[in-house]
Amino acid sequence: MGEALKEKVMNATEKKILLTAFEPFGGETVNPSLEAMLAMTGVEFPGAVLTVLELPVDRFRAVEMTSARLRLLRPDAVIMLGLAIARYRITPERVAINVDDYRIPDNAGNQPAGEPIIEGGPVGYLSTLPIRAITERLLKARIPAAISNTAGTYLCNRLFYGVMHVIATEQLPTLGGFIHVPYMHEQALNKYPDVPSLARETIVEAVRLAIDVTLGIERRKDAG
Give the nearer residue to ligand PCA in terms of CB position, either 77 or 84.
84
Q: How far is the CB of 156 from ligand PCA (least distance, A)?
A: 3
Beta carbons within 10 angstroms of residue 92's beta carbon = 26
Residues involved in catalysis: 93, 156, 180
Task: Report the residue number, 7 or 28, with the smaller CB distance to ligand PCA.
Answer: 28
Strand partners, 16: 49
| Minimum CB–partner distance for residue 175 and ligand PCA (Å) | 21
Cα(90)–Cα(177) distance, integer angstroms: 14
The least CB distance from residue 83 to ligand PCA, in Å, is 4
DSSP-derived pairing of the beta strands 95-97 and 124-126: antiparallel
Residues in contact with ligand PCA by CB under 6 A are 22, 25, 31, 33, 57, 82-84, 152, 154-156
Judged by DSSP in three states, 130 sits in: coil
85 or 217: CB nearest ligand PCA: 85
Collapse the DSSP code of 209 into the 3-class scheme (helix H, G, I; strand E, B; otherwise coil) and give the result. Answer: helix
How many other C-beta atoms lie within 10 A of the C-beta of residue 162?
Answer: 25
What pairs with residue 181 in β-bridges?
A: 83
Residue 149 Cβ, how far from ligand PCA at the closest point, in Å? 14
Whichever of 14 and 28 has its CB closer to ligand PCA, that residue is 28
* Residue 189 DSSP one-character state: T
Tell me the C-alpha distance between 22 and 27, whole Å: 14
18 bridge partner residues? 51, 78
